[in-house]
Structure 1
Amino acid sequence: MSQMLALTIVLAILYIGDIVATRTKAWIPSVFVCAVLFLIGYWTFFPKDIVSIAGIGPVVATMLMYLLITNMGTLLSLKELKNQWKAIVISLAGIVGIIAILFTIGALLFDLKTMIVAVPPLVGGVVAALVMSEGASAAGLEDLAVFAIVIYVIQGFAGYPITSIVLKREAKRLLKEHQQGNIQSVTQVEEDVEQASEQPKLFRKIPTKYNTEYFKFFRLALVGLLAYGTSTALAPVVTVNALVLCLVFGVLASTFGFLERQPLQKANGFGFAIMGLMLFIFDGLKQASPEMLMRIIVPLVVSIVLAVIGMYIFSFIAGKVLKVSPNLAFAVSLTALYGFPADYILTNEVVKSSTADQKEREMLLSHMLPPMLVGGFISVTITSVILAGIFVNWL
């Protein structure tokens, strides 16, 4: 298969996902549609490396991930992160729910080692899935090695539609509150949009004509490099994921005026970056053959169902205590099943389908997007890697 043919096919799938999401007003999310189509493709005529043939290999995907996550950090100010402490608590509560349900009911239905392998990938990260898969292989548990990868690539099938449903309910509630005058129209997102046109504080004396796309990419890459260098320097003492530091450094760089808000959008690179990263995520579905799924289908489905139940119960309790609506609390905990960029895409799809009024869209984004982003990073990027490092020693 030629590169351009591969690229055309995978882009057609992404577009079909967009069409279905638009036609169904996000009741069927684009990421769910794309995942199904990629799975069918791999089971029929797709070469296993179709995404790499199209030009999005692991090296390119890593580069895009550094740029995207650093860019995402600019969406959140230090004040916003402080304000999102409830989302952090709810995300952690959802993870506790997964562990509690799987280590009790799940362990009774199957065995403890299966549940040990299941938890870190269910909390979200591909790194966690790979760690558990390699650990299971080293322990001679070949089926569980496959199980770790498959549960990671399949769990979004539960997370995408449920998140879309609860976010749409939350959007409906917020719009009603807004129309009754209980929620202010002027929001942090609107303020950020107004500030977004300004050059970052450290470069305001530089003529605008010199703040080119390449300069924005350069500064994004430099912040990503600092995150990578810091992670490497800390490695002998403590393991800190470089991508976690990209988010933190993105927040700091924006706060102190080195990066403007959403520099990747302003450099006209955001759409391409999202495209590349989504293709890389769907590339993981090539591991899930029909034969493989048949061997592990029962523990796979039951583990995901139990995880969702655990997240719902514990996030509901945490939401009640923190006075966060049950729908938003559940949605935040569900980000563990997919993380970024799916949490970003799902939230935006729901907002666009809920209202055509720009002010109302900004209001919805300001209330739903920050907790969704923070929740996803707490679970997928941070906690899943920590859990994998602990649980792999139990095999």
Structure 2
Amino acid sequence: MTFSVIAAFTIILVVLTAGEFVSAKTKAFVPSVFVSAVLFLIGFWTFLPKDIIEQGSFAKPIVYISMYLLLVHMGTLMSLKELLSQWKTVVIALTGIIGICLLTLTVGKLLFGWETVVAGTPPLTGGVVASILMSKAATDKGLTSIAVLATSMYIMQGFVGYPISALCLKKEAKRVLGIYKTDGKKSNSAKKAVNFTPRKKLLPPLPEKYQTPYMILLKLGLVGWLASLIGPVIHVNDFVVCLILGVIGCEIGFLEEKALNKANAFGFLMTTLMAFIFANLSQATPSMLKQIIAPLFGIIVLGVLGMFIVSLIVGKLLGFSKEMAFACTLTALYGFPADYILTHEAVKSVCETKDETEYVLDDMLPKMLVAGFTTVTIASVIIAGFFVKLL
């Protein structure tokens, strides 16, 4: 079935809006990304064409542009000091990956066999690259069902990660809001008073009349382009470099704070990215899931249990609440932009004023973003490169 471009676009937005509606009605108890994923899956199994996302013009070129611009923008939401201070988050996220491997390679091996857990574990640690590497390795060895498992693991893990993360983040948001209401208001007011006087930066700000959407997007594009050139040279993923350069660009005054919001482009770019994420569900046919459902969900359950145990121990040692520590490790199941959206939904569901929302977001969002990059963008690729040799 083929739709016109505007019809396909509208259908996609109906599904995404339905997810937000349910999330708002349930106060983020049921996250929007989970609802949208279920609706897309049902749609792909019934009446939606497999390429509905591409028919709606959410194809790879615009998606990659969105990724570069959004991740540079995310850097403008954090200070350099804040980014460097997230070393505890990195440690928790990495130990969460270790927790996954410990249980899947021991208990999982006994239940499902060595080849199954070796192929299924790297995609569980996050990232499409890990899924592709393991699927190709299994196919090269003639292990067709194992290759299907590797692909399905990447596609289906979010169904477990979304609702558990939503619960953890909502509890954490309530905890941080409680701190704000008891003794955080004064410190937040003092922080705002300091921030009200602009810090002197290396580059003077552009006059207001030149801070147009074109100019802001141009500067974001230049930083993203620079990241794409630097990334391969230093062997770091382009998107990680985008975040780092976004922080630096904002610190020196080249980029505006909350750049995409000022360019009025954030909403559309995020919509583009979310639509493309769900395109992967078109591969998950009922027959595919029936074939590998036991090891698929068995490995996911073991992985999540491993993350929970490790995050409980390490999070306590590093001063994180158990909910925040667990949520940081769970980013391995979805990464960006779901980590951003789930955090925002949780915070909006418990906060009533703008000051409350800003305070809680400032505490939670940097942790989730850094955790997501640590697990999905960095650790999963390293894990996959090692596990390919074990298959």
- Using structure 1 for the length normalisation, give the TM-score: 0.94
Q: CA deviation at 1:27?
A: 0.1
Q: What is the identity percentage for the equivalent residue pairs of Structure 1 and Structure 2?
A: 49
Q: Secondary structure at the match of 2:203?
A: helix
Q: Secondary structure at the match of 1:393?
A: coil
Q: Secondary structure at the match of 2:188?
A: coil
Counterpart check, 1:340 vs 2:336: yes
Inter-CA distance 187–338: structure 2 relative to 1 (3 Å threshold) = farther
Cross-structure match for 2:256: 260
Q: CA deviation at 1:76?
A: 2.1
Maintained 8 Å contact 1:21/1:29? yes
Cross-structure match for 1:131: 133
- Using structure 2 for the length normalisation, give the TM-score: 0.95
Cross-structure match for 1:76: 78
Using the TM superposition, name which of 290-299 and 247-256 deviates more.
247-256
- Structure 1: unaligned runs, 5 residues or longer: none
| Aligned partner of 2:388 among 375, 383, 392 | 392
| Aligned partner of 2:33 among 24, 31, 34 | 31
Maintained 8 Å contact 1:29/1:164? yes
Q: In structure 2, how many angstroms separate the alpha carbons of the residues matched to 1:260 and 1:60?
A: 23
Q: Secondary structure at the match of 2:98?
A: helix
Cross-structure match for 1:315: 311
Cross-structure match for 2:287: 291
Q: CA deviation at 1:77?
A: 1.8
Counterpart check, 1:301 vs 2:297: yes
- Structure 2: unaligned runs, 5 residues or longer: none
Cross-structure match for 1:223: 223
Off by >6 Å, runs of 4+ in structure 1: 197-200
Q: Secondary structure at the match of 2:50?
A: coil
Q: CA deviation at 1:175?
A: 2.3
Using the TM superposition, name which of 287-296 and 115-124 deviates more.
115-124
Maintained 8 Å contact 1:117/1:148? yes
After superposition, the C-alpha distances for 1:61-98 in whole angstroms (9 at most, x for unaligned) are: 11111111111122222201121111111111111100
Cross-structure match for 2:348: 352
Q: CA deviation at 1:231?
A: 2.3
Q: Could you say what the CA RMSD is over the residues aligned between the two structures, in angstroms?
A: 2.0
Inter-CA distance 161–192: structure 2 relative to 1 (3 Å threshold) = farther
Counterparts in 2 of 1:9-158, with a 5 A limit? 9-158=11-160
| Aligned partner of 1:7 among 9, 23, 27 | 9
Q: CA deviation at 1:373?
A: 0.8
The amino acid of 1:381's aligned partner reads: T
Cross-structure match for 1:211: 211
Maintained 8 Å contact 2:201/2:251? no
Q: Secondary structure at the match of 1:202?
A: coil
Cross-structure match for 2:203: 202
Counterpart check, 1:378 vs 2:380: no
After superposition, the C-alpha distances for 1:96-144 in whole angstroms (9 at most, x for unaligned) are: 1001010111111111221111222111111211121122212221112
